[in-house]
């Protein structure tokens, strides 16, 4: 009997020891913490034996010392989320905001004219001051003289007090800007092929940025767009345009630095046709070394593109703050390529809104788009009446 109790005591000690060992091993098998900012941490098992441990139940089939893994912690491939695609601002809200900015930046011109025309006595000195204001605002000599002559006549007949002066000035400025010009962008698909827009202008005017912003305008109108980075002599221009494309989810066709711009333009249009895009926007090189070289390059780009489909628009980008230098650029491009519309950039912070009139007179084509500010949506269709209201400090709805 004494031996029996001794055997029982030894058995109890052995069972307690085994239970303690199992508990210790269980605590050592905690799930590893994963660094969510990097790839999942893979813990190599220290022992791969599959010998069952007594008393563990179903866990006996788990390899010894293998950490418990959840589905989240499995060694799955890491999939990078695509960069978020921005939703461009609608044309309506963009116009409202741009009118407000125009009113703030351009109103000194309108206020100056209104103050002079509201004087009790408008003599020759006053008319000379009015001419000076208009010329300083880059309206141009001939348009300034026309406007002053019409104002003289109307003020003499209708008077120069209160609201009538404002009404007269507004009507004459609207007439000067010319609301009858066709300012629509003609980029609709034709014969199953996309509209093609060539964007031209010298470097520094905001040409590449304008192409990116125009892509946003068109995407906001639910159009499928392809960008062509044919300004191949500036690596920065290619990268900049690709970034604009990524932001609104449109593809950019580009070639190596220094490659043939016409070849890139051709491939962009080809891609647009294959992808059944609505519009292909082509950013061209902005070098202005000499007229002959510019003519050859732009002429070649247009000829090569038109082997596939006609060019719908040729938009000339001008910096509104450059005054007569901008007018010189406009003349050169007007002689080199068939410009169909003008984009005026950098109107913010400038009282030189008269360049709208001057450049339209110089080229005989309308200002179609105007840009104010550095934001992605700071580009909108040009509205003559809203522009004049802004000049006069009245924000139209």
Please tell me whether residues 291 and 171 are part of one structural domain.
no
| Contact of 383 with 95, CB cutoff 8 Å | yes
| Contact of 292 with 179, CB cutoff 8 Å | no
Two structure tokens written together for 370: 């105007």
Please tell me whether residues 237 and 291 are part of one structural domain.
yes
- Across the chain, mean pLDDT equals 77
Is 348 annotated to bind a ligand? Reply is: yes
Kindly tell me if the per-residue pLDDT of 255 is higher than 80. yes
pLDDT confidence tier of residue 44, bands split at 50, 70 and 90: very low
Residue 48 lies inside a defined structural domain of this protein:
no
Is 272 annotated to bind a ligand? Reply is: no
Please tell me whether residues 169 and 199 are part of one structural domain.
no
How far is 127 from 124, CA to CA, in rounded Å?
5
Two structure tokens written together for 265: 């333009």
Is 290 annotated to bind a ligand? Reply is: no
275: CATH: 3.40.50.300
Residue 85 lies inside a defined structural domain of this protein:
no
Two structure tokens written together for 341: 């519309």
pLDDT of residue 35: 37
Task: Domain count for the chain, please give it.
Answer: 2
Residue 9 lies inside a defined structural domain of this protein:
no
Is 204 annotated to bind a ligand? Reply is: yes
Residue 73 lies inside a defined structural domain of this protein:
no
Is 262 annotated to bind a ligand? Reply is: no
DSSP output for 218-251 = HHHTT--EEEEEE-TT-HHHHHHHHHHHHHHT--
Is 206 annotated to bind a ligand? Reply is: yes
Is 99 annotated to bind a ligand? Reply is: no
pLDDT of residue 114: 86
Per DSSP, 190 falls in state B
- The better pLDDT of the pair 251, 327 is held by 251
Is 283 annotated to bind a ligand? Reply is: yes
Is 345 annotated to bind a ligand? Reply is: yes
Range of the domain at 173: 92-177
Is 315 annotated to bind a ligand? Reply is: no
Please tell me whether residues 279 and 208 are part of one structural domain.
yes
Mean pLDDT, to the nearest integer, of 265-277? Answer: 95
pLDDT of residue 166: 86
Please tell me whether residues 206 and 161 are part of one structural domain.
no
- The better pLDDT of the pair 316, 121 is held by 316
Mean pLDDT, to the nearest integer, of 262-278? Answer: 95
Question: What is the strand order of the sheet 252-254 is part of?
Answer: 252-254, 225-230, 279-284, 195-200, 313-319, 341-345, 367-371, 379-381
Is 144 annotated to bind a ligand? Reply is: no
Strand pairing category for 313-319 and 195-200: parallel
How far is 149 from 143, CA to CA, in rounded Å?
10
- Hey, how many other C-beta atoms are within 10 angstroms of the C-beta on 132? 13
How far is 219 from 87, CA to CA, in rounded Å?
8
Please tell me whether residues 136 and 199 are part of one structural domain.
no
Is 223 annotated to bind a ligand? Reply is: no
How far is 156 from 168, CA to CA, in rounded Å?
11
Residue whose token pair is 């300083």:
136
Please tell me whether residues 150 and 287 are part of one structural domain.
no
Please give the C-alpha separations between residue 4 and each of 7, 8, 9, 10, in angstroms, as whole numbers: 5, 6, 9, 10
pLDDT of residue 3: 54
pLDDT digits (tens, 9 = 90+) for 110-155: 788 888 888 888 899 999 999 998 988 888 899 999 999 999 998 8
């Amino acid at each position: 009997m004494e031996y029996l109790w001794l055997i029982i005591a030894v058995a109890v000690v052995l069972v307690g020891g085994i239970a303690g060992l199992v508990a210790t091993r269980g605590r050592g098998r905690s799930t590893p913490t994963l660094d969510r900012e990097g790839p999942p941490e893979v813990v190599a098992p220290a022992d791969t034996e599959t010998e069952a441990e007594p008393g563990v139940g179903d866990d006996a089939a788990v390899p010894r010392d293998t950490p418990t893994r959840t589905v989240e912690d499995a060694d799955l491939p890491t999939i990078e989320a695509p960069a978020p695609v921005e939703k461009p601002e609608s044309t309506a809200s963009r116009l409202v905001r741009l009118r407000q900015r125009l009113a703030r930046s351009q109103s000194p011109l309108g206020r100056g004219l209104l103050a002079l025309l509201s004087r009790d006595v408008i003599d020759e000195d006053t008319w000379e001051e009015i001419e000076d204001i208009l010329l300083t605002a880059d309206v141009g000599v001939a348009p300034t003289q026309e406007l002053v002559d019409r104002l003289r006549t109307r003020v003499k007949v209708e008077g120069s007090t209160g609201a009538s002066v404002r009404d007269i000035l507004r009507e004459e400025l609207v007439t000067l800007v010319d609301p009858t010009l066709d300012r629509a962008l003609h980029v609709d698909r034709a014969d199953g092929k996309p509209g093609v827009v060539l964007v031209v202008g010298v470097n520094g005017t905001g040409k590449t940025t304008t192409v990116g912003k125009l892509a946003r305008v068109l995407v906001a109108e639910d159009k499928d767009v392809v960008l062509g980075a044919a300004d191949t002599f500036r690596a920065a221009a290619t990268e900049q345009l690709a970034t604009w494309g990524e932001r609104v989810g449109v593809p950019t066709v580009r070639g190596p630095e220094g490659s043939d711009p016409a070849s890139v333009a051709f491939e962009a249009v080809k891609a647009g046709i294959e992808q059944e895009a609505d519009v292909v926007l082509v950013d061209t090189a902005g070098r202005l070394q000499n007229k002959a070289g510019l003519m050859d390059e732009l002429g070649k780009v247009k000829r090569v593109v038109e082997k596939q489909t006609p060019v719908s628009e040729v938009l000339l980008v001008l910096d509104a703050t450059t005054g007569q230098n901008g007018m010189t650029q406009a003349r050169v491009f007007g002689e080199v390529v068939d410009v169909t519309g003008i984009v005026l950039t950098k109107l913010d912070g400038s009282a030189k809104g008269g360049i709208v009139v001057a450049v339209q007179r110089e080229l005989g084509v309308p200002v179609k788009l105007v840009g104010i500010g550095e934001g992605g949506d700071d580009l909108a269709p040009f509205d003559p009446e809203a522009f004049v209201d802004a000049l006069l400090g009245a924000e139209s709805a």
